[in-house]
Amino acid sequence: MKAWQFTTDTYLKPQRRDAWREAMERLRLPVGDLPAEGAFHAQVSSLTSPMGVEFSVVASTPQEISGRNPHQPAAIWMAVLLEGEATLLDGSREIPIAAGDIVYGPTGQAAGLRLESRFRLLFITAPRVALDHRLLAPSALRLGHLAAGDGINHVFSGLLRATAESLDELTSDQLRPVELALTEFLVACLAQDGGPAARGGAEGARAVQMHRVRQTIEVLLAEPELTLRRVADEDGVSPRYLQKLFAGQGQSFTGYVRGRRLERCRADLASPACAQLSISEICFRWGFNGSAHFSRAFRSAYGQSPREYRRAAIGEAAADLSA
């Protein structure tokens, strides 16, 4: 994993604000107002997993993170307020954020987070290529707020807060289950937070059913003979209805399953825990019937062969260890 840390304590006081802006630029977070007077202290501890999910714990005196960074890659960001007081700015509203609350949104969309006291914040960015397959309406994703009061939001917030507390101790193998859980929790929370599943009526019913179908597919993904009928039988619907569900999302059942299998293979190719497995073993363990077909599909999806991807991931890991 790529990891780095920063603190303003290593700089002279007049240099600290400029140094912090540079550190935040490395996180691709646009800094708004910084206090012009008084003591200024800030630090960050960040790591990027083999799958490209970046986890950063930021602690600082009051400031504002706001604006739009044009250099942000296509990703979904999440932030959970660990300590302090904050306000989310979406251009038309000011939403109070309490400790434990989660805010989220797509990169490239202007947003602001005004941190009004000393704070600690876990900030996460996840590549859209790893999440869009699981979202019911990825193109419609907007800035949002998940209050951590109870239910699934409370559980999700607890996971993120525990991750923040243990971040410096986690290995890539230990972080991988967190990545998978993060995706599942985010999908479930978004389904309740004004997404299609929360709208009620026929549209809401279809969205709830689609969410269940995708969960079933995740459980059965490794089966080579995973068919439309098998999933339909598991969920108590007809194959024709299942086809219509995917068509309503602009997808096909076959294309969705292939995309999920490719993502699982990509994760294993980058994981040290799977280093002893051959590329063929990895593709077969996630349901592909042939290594040649898998290689073509992988290159089409990610722009490089499985071997090239694994070599690059191993090279980056080795460079991080020697740094």
What tens digit of pLDDT does each residue of 82-137 get? 999 999 988 778 999 999 999 988 887 778 899 999 999 999 988 876 666 666 55
C-alpha 274/C-alpha 252 separation (Å) is 30
pLDDT score at 239? 93
Q: In what order do the strands lie in the sheet with 111-115?
A: 63-67, 111-115, 86-89, 94-97
pLDDT over 70 (residue 160) = yes
pLDDT > 80? residue 285: yes
State the Cα–Cα distance between residues 264 and 277, nearest whole angstrom: 14
Q: Which residues share a beta bridge with 94?
A: 89
Mean pLDDT score, 303-317? 84
Q: What confidence tier does 323 reach under pLDDT thresholds 50, 70, 90?
A: very low
**Rounded to 5 degrees, what angle do the CA atoms 98, 75, 81 make?**
15
**SS3 of residue 68 by DSSP:** coil
CA distances from 103 to 46, 57, 161, 168, 198 (A): 19, 15, 13, 23, 18
Find the mean pLDDT for residues 290-308.
94
Q: What ranges make up the beta strands (E) of 276-321?
A: none
Give the dihedral of Cα atoms 24, 26, 30, 32; nearest 10 deg.
30
Q: What share of the chain is helix, strand, coil (3-state, %, to 5)?
A: 50, 20, 30
- pLDDT given at position 90: 81
Percent of the chain with pLDDT over 70: 86
> How much is the pLDDT for 20?
94
Question: For helices 306-322 and 253-270, what crossing angle results, to 10°?
Answer: 30
Output the pLDDT for position 85.
93
Q: How far is CA 121 from the centre of its chain?
A: 16
Residue 233 has pLDDT above 50, yes or no: yes
Tell me the average pLDDT across 142-170. 88
For residue 199, is pLDDT > 60? no
Query: Rounded to whole angstroms, what are the CA distances from 255 to 33, 50, 109, 297?
Result: 46, 24, 28, 11
**Interval 174-184 mean pLDDT:** 79
Residue 77 has pLDDT above 90, yes or no: no
pLDDT computed for residue 321 by the predictor: 47
What integer pLDDT is reported at residue 230 of this predicted model?
93
Asked whether residue 201 carries a pLDDT value surpassing 60, the answer given is no
For the chain, what is the mean pLDDT?
84
Average pLDDT over residues 261-278: 87
Question: What are the angstrom distances between the C-alpha of 71 and each of 6, 26, 142?
Answer: 21, 11, 19
pLDDT band at residue 197, thresholds of 50, 70 and 90? very low
Give the pLDDT confidence score for residue 32 in this predicted structure. 79
Q: What confidence category does residue 188 fall into, taking pLDDT thresholds of 50, 70 and 90? A: confident
